[in-house]
Each structure stands twice: as structure tokens, then as C-alpha cells.
Amino acid sequence: MSVIEAPTTSTIHSGAAHAERVTTTKLRAMKGRGEKITMVTVYDYSTARIVDAAGMDAILVGDSLGQVMLGYDSTVPVTMDDMIHHTKAVVRGAQRALVIGDMPFLSYNISPEEALRNAGRFMQEAGARAVKLEGAAVAPTVERMVAAGIPVMGHLGLTPQSINVFGRHRVQGKTREAAVRILEDAIRLEEAGAFALVLETVPTPLAALISRKISIPTIGIGAGAGCDGQVQVLHDLLGWNIGYTPKHARKYADAANTFAAAFEEYIEDVRAGRFPTDDNSFPMDEELLEGLDA
């Protein structure tokens, strides 16, 4: 099959084509100025180019790819090799946004040495500029990674890799005891050196309180507008899923139905002989073919 040359950034969107690369320091400065941070999950080169050119501040190569790209029922089966493969592709497509690799289940929990080695793979092998870890028990690991020169984003609240402990996806921190624990965990991760913190499905007042209490940016998903930024799963944002949109998401497009309609029209045109036409084909001097069908 032929390969079509990828469009230049300017042909996709010119808004961020010449902006300087986003860094962890820049995200912290944005919080200081009260500027909201934007982040979305991305899993491939082509989408990364579009998202990057649109001006997104950060891209998370999320282990949510297990569900939306690989068809698993949770993030638990996702491997390091899966994450490295997809992160490489995203890095090739993102010229400006900060690319963060999501460390998968058991890639950082077994031993500090293995955690550091796996985080190093994201940086050296895949080209990510930071990694993300779930939970607060990993604070010593975060501290060790930061000391080794690896920027780390934390993740509190609903941590999807712990779905078998939680039993189901539900809001975290609704009681005073749980709220205090999440707040203390946020402070603990900041002290360990995390440069930012994802808060997932945490009550809005609690997320706003945490955002005020810590100096590093908070990135909310289902945690209200009081966070310093927001992250969404690409497929939720684009309506690139069938039959379900989480409460924390807003559909900015209807990709699933748009794609389905395009595929149906393509099928009909091919079967009816309406595609390809001369406009989609390549001519030649037919005299050159004389006698070849004898």
C-alpha cells in the first residue's frame, strides 16, 4: 500500500507551531501565574501531531491504552513493552508538548532497582520527558527517581491500577478521614519531589483545597475546576467510544459516528463502482499494452 506524506504542522493547525517546548518547570510557572494546564492522553504518532499542533501543554501516554487501544477490560494487563512501543510513537509526533509515560502495573512496585530501570527505559528508550506513578506508597521511589534525574508526576484518588482493590470505579475522599489521607499523600508526594499531581475522581472541594495547599500543579480528571489543569482520555473527549461517556468527560466531537458514516459510505461507493474514479487513478498510454492480453 502507498504511504501518504504526513502533513506539516502548519497544515494541521498553526496556533502552536513555533512555541517553545513545554517543560516541568514551565508547568509549575503556569500554576504560579494562575494559567490553567491542558493535558490529554495520546497513544500514536498521527494523533500526537494533531494534539501537539493544537497547543496542548502535556501529553500523557496513558496505560488506558489497555482499554481503548488493546481491548483489555482494565489497565492491569498492560506491559512495559506496550507502553514503550506507544510512547516512542507519541514522542515522534510531539514537538512541543511535554510527553509523560505512564508506568504500568507492577513496573515500579516490586523493587526500587526495577522501578528505576523501568523509568529509565521511558526516558532513554522511548524519549519521554517524565513518568507517572500511582499512589503515595511509592514516595520513596519517586524521591529516588527524581534524584536520578527523572521527573515524576504523581497520581492520587482513583488509581486505575488498583481497581481490583477498589472493586469498581468510584469517587475517592468523600469522608473526612479519606480526605485527610489524600491531602497528606499529596503533601508527601510533593516533598518526595513530584513535579505535578493527577487527582482522579476526587470531590471538587477537596481537590481545590489540595491545589491551594501544595505548590506543584494539580491536574484533575473528575476533580472539578479548582485544579490547576485538566486531563481527559482522548477517546472520551472525541466521542471515540460507543455507548458510554464518563461523568467527568465532555464530548467535543462525535468521532465514532463520524468514522462509522465514512466507512459505510466508502463500502457503498466501492461496491457500486463509484470509487475509485479517474481522479483517484493514474493513466498511461494504452498503446503500450497492445498485445499483452492476447
200, containing H or E segment: strand 196-200
- Compute CA distances 122 → 6, 11, 101, 238, whole Å: 25, 30, 6, 27
Active-site residue identified among 5, 190, 191, 200:
200
Instruction: Please report the DSSP string for 39-80 in residue order.
Output: EEE--SHHHHHHHHHHT-SEEEE-TTHHHHTT--SSSTT--H
pLDDT in tens, 201-259: 999 999 999 999 999 999 999 999 999 999 999 999 999 986 667 888 999 999 999 99
Q: Say what the pLDDT of residue 277 is.
A: 97
* Alpha carbon distance 212, 111 (integer Å): 33
| 129 touches 99 (CB < 8 A) | yes
pLDDT band with cut points at 50, 70 and 90 for residue 46? very high
As a whole number, mean pLDDT of residues 124-139 equals 97
Residue 286 annotated as catalytic: no
Give yes or no for residue 283 having a pLDDT over 50: yes
* Alpha carbon distance 218, 279 (integer Å): 51
Sole residue written with cell 501537539: 52
Cis? peptide before 140, omega within 30° of 0: no
Q: Say what the pLDDT of residue 197 is.
A: 98
Across the chain, mean pLDDT equals 91
